[in-house]
Amino acid sequence: MKPLKLTMQAFGPFAGTEHLCFADLGHTPLFLINGPTGSGKTTLLDAICLALYNTTTGNERQGAEMRCNQAEPDVETFVEFDFELGGSCYRIRRTPEQLRPSKRGEKLVTQRPTARLHRLGEDGSEESGDLLVETKVNEANEYIEQLTGLSGDQFRQVMVLPQGEFRKLLLADSRDRENIFASLFHTGIFRKLEEALKNRAAGVRQEVQAQRNQLKGILSNAGVDSLESLEKEIGEQTVLVETATAQAGTATEAWSVADKALDAATALDAAFSRLDSSNKKAAQLEAQTEEYDKKRAQLALAIEAEKLSPVMKLRDTVARRKTDALAAREQAGAKLAGAEVALEEAVASMA
């Protein structure tokens, strides 16, 4: 953030209107705010803090308390601060809560606090820029925090070191300097954090002790007196387990080989059983060979006889016909003899 211009009216010890143009100080990043006590040096920083965060540097006084007691009743108290941030220029104007004459001027009325924030144009005017916050104080506070990335407390701690505290800081011993830093930078939260961490550490220590006690019980049950002894025992048992595992692997391989040999022997025994059965059947078949040969010869004769069956039938037919012919010839001879006798008788009779 780069300050550009600060305007105060009826603010702090200044009853009138005061303008401070930081650009008139040149481009030197360092300058000194100097003057006698009570001349308003801290008021300049209060005005900047009030304009930005609606609070003073020490957070001891509110905006309503910063009105100048010497100002005329009709003079409005306000602060206006121009600054450059992130390549843009801004102007914020705040009027704290204050008593102002009524419109009739008969009594004083309370004027509510307001805040107005502009992003200035390239010519540095409000008209060519943007109105970011019109009147609401809380909106202005939130917008400023978004712009700067700091809260009011953080801004005071990082940017502002009150002059009285600085002198104390220079002259204080280490213990007092620690207290001054605690006051300046509001380190109470860190003390609380430290206490919380201490309490948590104590709880962790208790938990560790409980774990150690539990470990002792485990070691006692295991028959050892230390974790190293337990680790040694575990190492020895691990070696035994590895040896047993290797032996089990070897035994498994031997069992596998034996199992395969048993399967082969079983298969061979079955083959021998089948061979013996086949030999017995072969012997039986060999014993039946002669009978089969006789039947085979008879079958061959039957087949040959079957082939001669037509000839035999023809022979029987011829023999039967021969017998019939002989019988017919005998009958014809008998008839012829009878005819001859009859003929002879006939001839005789005719004679």
Note the pLDDT tens digit of each residue in 284-316: 777 777 777 788 888 888 787 777 777 778 777
Residue from 108, 55, 134, 48 nearest 83 by CA: 48
- Is residue 60 within 8 A of residue 49, CB to CB? The reply is no
DSSP 10-64: EETTEEEEEEEEGGGG-S-S-------TTSSHHHHHHHHHHHHHSS-SSS-S-GG
Integer Cα distance of 350 and 339 in angstroms: 16
Please give the single-letter amino acid code of residue 168: K
Residue from 13, 81, 17, 88 nearest 51 by CA: 81
Residue ranges of alpha helices (H) inside the chain are: 41-53, 137-148, 152-159, 163-171, 174-185, 188-222, 227-287, 289-350
Integer Cα distance of 43 and 57 in angstroms: 9
Q: What is the pLDDT of residue 171?
A: 66
Integer Cα distance of 337 and 339 in angstroms: 5
Q: How far is CA 268 from the centre of its chain?
A: 60
Q: What is the pLDDT of residue 92?
A: 96
Q: How far is CA 341 from the centre of its chain?
A: 149
Q: What is the pLDDT of residue 264?
A: 83
Please give the single-letter amino acid code of residue 262: L
Is residue 75 classed as helix, strand or coil in its secondary structure? coil
Q: What is the pLDDT of residue 79?
A: 96
Q: What is the pLDDT of residue 16?
A: 92
Please report, in tens digits, the pLDDT of each residue of the chain (351 residues total): 889 999 999 998 889 999 999 888 877 767 788 888 877 888 898 899 999 998 887 666 677 778 888 888 889 999 999 999 989 999 999 999 988 888 877 788 888 999 999 999 999 899 999 999 998 999 999 999 999 888 887 777 666 665 555 555 566 677 766 765 666 566 777 778 888 889 999 999 998 889 888 877 887 777 767 777 767 778 887 888 888 888 888 878 888 887 888 888 788 888 888 888 888 887 777 777 777 778 888 888 878 777 777 777 877 787 888 888 788 888 878 888 887 777 777 777 776
**DSSP state for residue 102 in the 8-state scheme:** -
**Cβ neighbours of 91 (radius 10 Å):** 22
Q: What is the pLDDT of residue 11?
A: 92
Q: What is the pLDDT of residue 162?
A: 56
**Inter-CA distances, 276 with 112, 268, 284, 285, Å:** 125, 12, 13, 14
Q: What is the pLDDT of residue 183?
A: 60
Q: What is the pLDDT of residue 8?
A: 95
